[in-house]
């Protein structure tokens, strides 16, 4: 079974600074996707960034980028120029891509609470 581990229950960062959230996963599959989701308090889960395992290039989305190390099964999220609105719970998630289509069942990590200090 696939597992996702986020070893940092809480992280904090000063506004405008950079922070990195860690994630490791365990799988025997080679074709999968990895995601970072943001969950603000009492609000819905929002996709931050995604990475296809077959792509060597790390994904970037504006201030958000990932460091994907497939051999090490590591998938960290870097948030640059942190903003107060970035404060939330962040979840790393794994999706096994079965034969090009997928039921879409996500496996989530435990989450990291990010606090942004003004």
Partner 1 sequence: DTGVSQNPRHKITKRGQNVTFRCDPISEHNRLYWYRQTLGQGPEFLTYFQNEAQLEKSRLLSDRFSAERPKGSFSTLEIQRTEQGDSAMYLCASRVNRGPFPNYGYTFGSGTRLTVV
Q: Residue 13 or residue 49: which is nearer to partner 1 going by CB?
A: 49
* Phi/psi of residue 103, nearest 5 degrees: -60, -25
Q: How far is the CB of 17 from partner 1 (least distance, A)?
A: 25
- What CA–CA distance (Å, rounded) separates 105 from 80? 30
| Residues forming the site for partner 1 (CB under 8 A) | 4, 6, 9, 33, 42-47, 50, 52, 91, 93, 95, 97, 100-111
The pairing of beta strand 112-117 with beta strand 10-14: parallel
Shortest Å distance, C-beta 77 to partner 1: 15
- Minimal distance, residue 49 CB to partner 1, in Å: 11
Cβ proximity to partner 1, 16 vs 46, nearer residue: 46
| Nearest one of 23, 32, 21 to 5, comparing CA atoms | 23
Report yes or no: 37 and 45 within 8 Å, Cβ to Cβ: yes
- Chain centroid offset of residue 97 CA: 17
Nearer to partner 1, 45 or 78 (CB): 45
Shortest distance, position 27 Cβ to partner 1, whole Å: 15
């Amino acid at each position: 079974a696939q597992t996702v581990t986020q070893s940092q229950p809480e992280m904090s960062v000063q506004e405008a600074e950079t922070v990195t959230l860690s994630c490791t996963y365990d799988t025997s599959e080679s074709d999968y996707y990895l995601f970072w989701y943001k969950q603000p308090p009492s609000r819905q889960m929002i996709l931050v960034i995604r990475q296809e395992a077959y792509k060597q290039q790390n994904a970037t989305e504006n201030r958000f980028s990932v460091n994907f190390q497939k051999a090490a099964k590591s998938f960290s999220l870097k948030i640059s120029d942190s903003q107060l609105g970035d404060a939330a719970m962040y979840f790393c998630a794994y999706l096994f891509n079965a034969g090009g289509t997928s039921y879409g069942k996500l496996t989530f990590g435990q989450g990291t609470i990010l606090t942004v200090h003004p």
